Amino acid sequence: MKKLDDGGLRTGDIILTSGSNKMSKAVRRATNSAISHAMIYVQHSSVIDATAEGVHSSNIQRIFFEDESVVIVLRPRISMDDETVRQVTDFARAATGTEYSKREAIAVVARAMRRDRSRKQFCSRLAAQAYASAGIDLVPDADFCSPEDLRKSEVLFEVEDVLSPASAAEVAFWAERTPVLRIMADATNAVLKAARRRSASIQSLNDMNDYLLTHPEEDRHFRRAYERSGYLTVWQIEYAKSRWQYDLDLMRHLANAQPDGQSSMEEYCRQLIGDVEGGRRFAVNLREYRKLATVTELTTFKLLADLYGQLDALHRRRVETARQWLAEVSKRM
């Protein structure tokens, strides 16, 4: 087995992969390609892609590939500043929950381009549109392109040395851990399923916000969709399994419990503090939902403001704990 090496990836990288299932084989056969799927690396350990379950994020630490699988990482030849990278990743994040368009994905593979273009997603469309949103055209038509079209893009080049071996113990470790992102994806899909009963035009959570602003009478329905889905309490699962991230004593204990614990903890702390995007998203959402809640007095927005207030506070606490741990390390040196 093999895995992606976080240290060799940059935010905005496009990851192309192959698979052993029937759909992957069909895509590769139809496009005369070795790859069949595309993902966008949006921050440390996190990718976003479009699958049959819709657009959601995944942790690359949980993604393992068979030794014979093809994995290609592509990066723009042009230099991108932080704002451009943010535009690409923000587009991908904003698409979270969007439905998968099997019909259009098949049309691309079959080279049967259609005039009617939906707002739904498939993997290579999401990647191409994310870059197009930042003014970077990877392919002639971002709405209809295949993973192989991305691989052939003259705007991108292939990054070397981004894979490393994965041990059986590592695979088993992640298989036993609670899949928080999978739980979040299920909760998001449940929220959007309830919202789409009111309007089939709703694709993403942002669409729900826009719809609610013009249909405030649906406030109760949308609020109950969030409450019943489990969306508001997923953070509690993550918090319960990672308490050490918020407690300096637990962090010390964990770092001392393993042979390489000190170095691993230092790497974690430095990556967390260096990842400004994670905290930015919580702060931005908190600010926007507070504003919406104040202006509209709708309970759905108040509920989401409270959620992001909690997430923002937890993130700040997590960062502060990491800073304290690094300060102790510095004193010992």
Closest CA to 18 of 170, 149, 147, 158: 147
CA distance 236 to 248: 19
* pLDDT tens, residue by residue, 122-152: 999 999 999 999 999 999 999 999 999 999 9
Q: What is the rounded average pLDDT of the residues 217-227?
A: 98
What is d(CA 46, CA 34) in angstroms, rounded to the nearest whole number? 24
pLDDT tens string 69-126: 899 999 999 999 999 999 999 999 999 999 999 888 888 877 766 667 899 999 999 9
What is the pLDDT confidence band of residue 42, given thresholds at 50, 70 and 90? very high
CB 144 within 8 A of CB 104: yes
Q: Does residue 323 surpass a pLDDT of 80?
A: yes
Residue 261's pLDDT band (boundaries 50, 70, 90)? confident
What is the pLDDT confidence band of residue 333, given thresholds at 50, 70 and 90? low
Q: Tell me the per-residue pLDDT of 228-257, one tens digit each, with 9 for 90 and over.
A: 999 999 999 999 989 999 999 999 998 888
Long-range contacts of 19-26 (CB under 8 A, 24+ apart): 19/69, 20/66, 20/69, 26/109
Domains of the chain and CATH, by start: 2-164 (3.90.1720.10), 176-332 (no CATH)
Q: How confident is the model over 140-188, as pLDDT tens digits?
A: 999 999 999 999 999 999 999 899 999 888 889 888 888 999 999 999 9
Q: Which pLDDT score is estimated for 181?
A: 92
Decide: pTM greater than 0.75.
yes
What is the predicted pLDDT for the residue at 278?
A: 75
Q: What is the percentage of the chain residues whose pLDDT exceeds 70?
A: 97
Instruction: State the angle between helix axes of 180-195 and 219-229 in degrees (0 to 180), rounded to the nearest 10.
Output: 160
Q: Do 41 and 159 meet the contact criterion of CB atoms below 8 Å apart? A: no
